[in-house]
Amino acid sequence: MQQVAVPFDREEMLERLGGDTELLTDVLVVFLEECPRMMQEIRAAVDQGDPTSVRRTAHSIKGALLNISAAPAAAEADQLEQLGADERLAETAVVLDQLQSEIDRLEPVLAAQTVAS
């Protein structure tokens, strides 16, 4: 049986923030506000068939996900970035769906953290 990776490593993020739970909450709130826009941008880049935009927007999303210690979603964004860099756009739809699935799994976990903090 395959283990499912935890979508968000709170302890890792908190350590990076020097234990500041208020800052953790603030960063997560900003991410939750910005995430829909970032996903719209990557979808538009994929729909337009623009490999440079796919690479650039996927890189931005990956950075935001790594900042909040969301490794599984960041791995999907990294795949999209590589596909854009390699101009392999025919493969992006599947990876974009996988990224969206990870985001869908991540958002309620982050929302719960902003209430709990």
Contact present, 102 and 73 (Cβ < 8 Å):
yes
Contact present, 69 and 6 (Cβ < 8 Å):
no
Q: Which amino acid is at 31?
A: F
* pLDDT tens per residue across span 87-99: 999 999 999 999 9
Alpha helices by DSSP H, the chain? 10-16, 21-48, 51-67, 71-85, 92-116
pTM of the model: 0.92
Q: How far apart are CA 40 and CA 65, in angstroms?
A: 16
Contact present, 92 and 83 (Cβ < 8 Å):
yes
CATH for 10-116 is 1.20.120.160
* pLDDT tens per residue across span 14-59: 999 999 999 999 999 999 999 999 999 999 999 999 999 999 999 9
Q: Where are the domains of the chain?
A: 10-116
